[in-house]
Amino acid sequence: MVGIIGYGTQIPRYRIKVEEIAKVWGADAEALTQGLNLYEKSVPAPDEDCTTLSVGAAKNALARAGIDPALIGAVYVGSESHPYAVKPTGTIVSEALGICPYVHTADLEFSCKAGTEGMFIALHLVKTGVMKCALAIGADTSKGTPGDALEYSASAGAAAFIMGTENIVAELLDTHCYMTDTPDFWRRENARYPEHGGRFAGKPAYQKHVFGAVEAILEKTGMKPKDFDYLIFHQPNGKFPVQTAKQLGFTEAQYRYGLLTPTLGNTYSGSSPMGLAATLDEAGPDQLILLVSYGSGAGSDAFVFRTTKHLLKNRDMAPRVRKQLNEHLKYLEYGEYAKFRGKILKPE
Partner 1 sequence: MNVPRHWRETPERYRMEAAKCRKCGKISFPARLICPACSNKVFDKTNLSGKGKLLTYTIIRTAPEGFEDIVPYAVGIVEMEEGVRVMGQITDCDLANLKTGDKLISKFRRMNEEGKTGLIMYSYKFVPDVGI
Q: What is the DSSP string of 77-134?
A: EE-S--S-SSS-HHHHHHHHHT--SS-EEEEE-BTBTHHHHHHHHHHHHHHHTS-SEE
Q: Is the dihedral of CA 188, 192, 198, 204 positive or negative?
A: positive
Taking the complex as a whole, the smallest distance from the CB of residue 96 to partner 1 amounts, in Å, to 4
Q: Considering beta carbons, is residue 89 or 237 the nearer one to partner 1?
A: 89
Confirm if 228 and 289 have CB atoms less than 8 A apart. Answer: yes
Taking the complex as a whole, the smallest distance from the CB of residue 103 to partner 1 amounts, in Å, to 14
Number of amino acids touching partner 1 (CB under 8 A) = 26
Q: Considering beta carbons, is residue 58 or 201 the nearer one to partner 1?
A: 58
d(CA 236, CA 259): 11
Q: Considering beta carbons, is residue 54 or 287 the nearer one to partner 1?
A: 54
Q: Considering beta carbons, is residue 56 or 299 the nearer one to partner 1?
A: 56
Taking the complex as a whole, the smallest distance from the CB of residue 36 to partner 1 amounts, in Å, to 27
CA within 13 Å, CB half, 231 = 24
Cα distances from 329 to residues 130, 289, 294, 302, 318, in angstroms, run: 42, 30, 28, 33, 18
Taking the complex as a whole, the smallest distance from the CB of residue 92 to partner 1 amounts, in Å, to 6
Chain residues 25-64 in contact with partner 1, contact rule CB under 8 A: 45-49, 51-52, 55-56, 59
19 forms part of the interface with partner 1 (CB under 8 A): no
Q: What is the DSSP string of 214-279?
A: HHHHHHHHT--GGG-SEEEE--SSSSHHHHHHHHTT--HHHHTTT--HHHH-B-GGGHHHHHHHHH
d(CA 14, CA 42): 6
Q: Considering beta carbons, is residue 52 or 296 the nearer one to partner 1?
A: 52
Q: Considering beta carbons, is residue 43 or 218 the nearer one to partner 1?
A: 43
The answer to whether residue 50 is catalytic is: no
Chain residues 66-95 in contact with partner 1, contact rule CB under 8 A: 83-84, 92, 95
Within a 10 A sphere around the Cβ of 148, how many other Cβ atoms?
16
Taking the complex as a whole, the smallest distance from the CB of residue 306 to partner 1 amounts, in Å, to 29
The answer to whether residue 234 is catalytic is: yes
- The active-site residue out of 50, 112, 133, 177 is 112
Taking the complex as a whole, the smallest distance from the CB of residue 79 to partner 1 amounts, in Å, to 14
How much helix, strand and coil, in percent to the nearest 5, is found in the chain?
40, 25, 35
The answer to whether residue 112 is catalytic is: yes
Q: Which of 255, 251, 253 is nearest to 238 (CA)?
A: 255
Chain residues 289-348 in contact with partner 1, contact rule CB under 8 A: 319, 323-324, 327-328, 330, 339, 348
Chain residues 91-150 in contact with partner 1, contact rule CB under 8 A: 92, 95-98
Active site residues: 80, 112, 234
Residues that bind partner 1 in the complex, under the rule CB under 8 A: 13, 45-49, 51-52, 55-56, 59, 83-84, 92, 95-98, 319, 323-324, 327-328, 330, 339, 348
